[in-house]
Amino acid sequence: MGSGTFKGGVHPYDGKELSKYKQVREILPKGDVIYSLSQHIGAPSKPVVGQGDYVKCGQVIAEADGFVSATVHASVSGKVSAIERRLNATGIKVLSIVIENDGQFTSFDFHETADVNTLSKEEIGKKIQEAGIIGLGGAGFPTHVKLTPKDPDKIKYVIANCAECEPYVTVDYRRMIENAEQLIAGMKIVLQLFDNAKGVFAIEDNKPDCIEKMQELLKNEDRIEVQILHTKYPQGAERQQIFAVTGLAIHSKQLPADVGCIVDNAETFFAIYNAVKLGRPLIERLVTVTGGGIADPSNFLIRIGTNFSELLEAAGGFIGQPEKLLFGGPMMGFAGTCTDVPTMKTTSMLLSLLTDEMSALTPTPCINCGRCVEVCPSGLVPSRLAKQAQRKQNADFEKWNGLECIECACCTYGCPAKQPLVSDIKLMKKRILTKKRQQAAREKKEGEAK
């Protein structure tokens, strides 16, 4: 086993006390619901409904376009009013299906499996794929793909990532407090796929109540245990978590399965339980609405596709005029300007901060203090990478392993000169990866033409 920690990382103010004790409240959408067809990594989903069609909750409205893609289901009943490009929380317009919500929530019948132990591996995989489950921690990688590694017998660890290291968010915390039994049932389902694996609930030590609860429920389970992790950001990042739990290191060109690991977020295990045991597709999830700029920080069970404005309203609205709005956390979230965009499968938080401390600071010249190197969990030299990015020195950037950056923002957070290191590095990564993709596509086309 690993040491429960990794090299580097930072300890930002976590703000979790604002919402962690707020029990989950279900809110049902009142207005139109919008489903982005690019909520996941991989090919966009293909619409299977047309304008004017009536749909029920749980009905497939877009199917996966290939293996690395995901099905999308309606989370309300009503009429399809449009299939067009709509703005999402990441600030881009993507093809989306709009449903005029009739407020009835007329649903398909979902069929429960009496005994999941009787299901074959293929049946479990099919149920997960059909339910449209993707990584709900934010990455959005289709779960059925992750759960079909080349050699399933080589999987030694199935890790439930319950670190929740991003400040403010309390979704996984509430899941462990309110649905621990279902999380364990979800883990048992995944373990049915991997005969040689053990299950690990990886939880940071700032959640002693969750650790105690899970340990108590798992005391007679010989295939599942709790691994206590040091509280440190980014403990929930996949590579850092694998190292903390197993002591094994991976780089950007490897998959967790290459070192015998499967890692999924807590909310994903809950979705797996829902799909395989209860027969319910992924149409809802937990979302935290919090921050100093929110009147009543809360945890909500929402229907995917609900407009963020409705979540904000349910949390009492803004206090005054907050300076910063984020979809996601302060370290890795997307800054936004308005809440009139739909939630997605990967949405975990709406954060509103009264003051935007980072934007108020003017960067000063680098003083070569080495702090960014100290905190980088990927062992990089962020100050140098940022300079290479500004100068568009692609080859040098790659030579200094810039593509290994996990975009955690620890360097920016730790920099006393307030250099926008992560923004420069992210931009450069995007530039290089886009070029590589275009090159690969060109070569493929040329190969096909020969």
Residues near ligand SF4 (CB under 6 A) are 366-372, 376-378, 380, 382-383, 405-411, 414-417, 419, 421-422, 425
Among candidate residues 180, 190, 253, the one with its CA nearest the CA of residue 217: 180
**Bridge partners of 80?**
99
**Closer CB to ligand SF4, 193 or 415, in the complex:** 415
d(CA 244, CA 229): 7
Rounded (10°) CA dihedral 443, 445, 446, 449: 160
β 224-229/60-63 pair status: unpaired
How near is the Cβ of 240 to ligand SF4 at its closest, in Å?
10
How near is the Cβ of 135 to ligand SF4 at its closest, in Å?
19
**Bridge partners of 286?**
301
**Closer CB to ligand SF4, 6 or 194, in the complex:** 6
**Closer CB to ligand SF4, 28 or 373, in the complex:** 373
Tokens of 259: 């070192």
How near is the Cβ of 427 to ligand SF4 at its closest, in Å?
12
Residue-wise DSSP of 139-204: T--BHHHHT--S-GGG--EEEEEE---SSS--HHHHHHHHHHHHHHHHHHHHHTT-TT-EEEEEEE
**Closer CB to ligand SF4, 237 or 294, in the complex:** 237
- In which order are the strands placed within the sheet that holds 261-265? 224-229, 198-204, 157-162, 261-265
How near is the Cβ of 99 to ligand SF4 at its closest, in Å?
38
How near is the Cβ of 367 to ligand SF4 at its closest, in Å?
5
**Closer CB to ligand SF4, 116 or 366, in the complex:** 366
Residue 250 CB: number of other CB atoms within 10 A?
A: 16
**Closer CB to ligand SF4, 433 or 441, in the complex:** 433
**Closer CB to ligand SF4, 430 or 444, in the complex:** 430
Rounded (10°) CA dihedral 366, 370, 372, 378: 140
β 298-303/334-336 pair status: unpaired
How near is the Cβ of 289 to ligand SF4 at its closest, in Å?
26
How near is the Cβ of 4 to ligand SF4 at its closest, in Å?
20
**Closer CB to ligand SF4, 306 or 383, in the complex:** 383
What is the three-class DSSP state of 286? strand
How near is the Cβ of 235 to ligand SF4 at its closest, in Å?
13
CA Rg, the chain, in Å?
A: 22
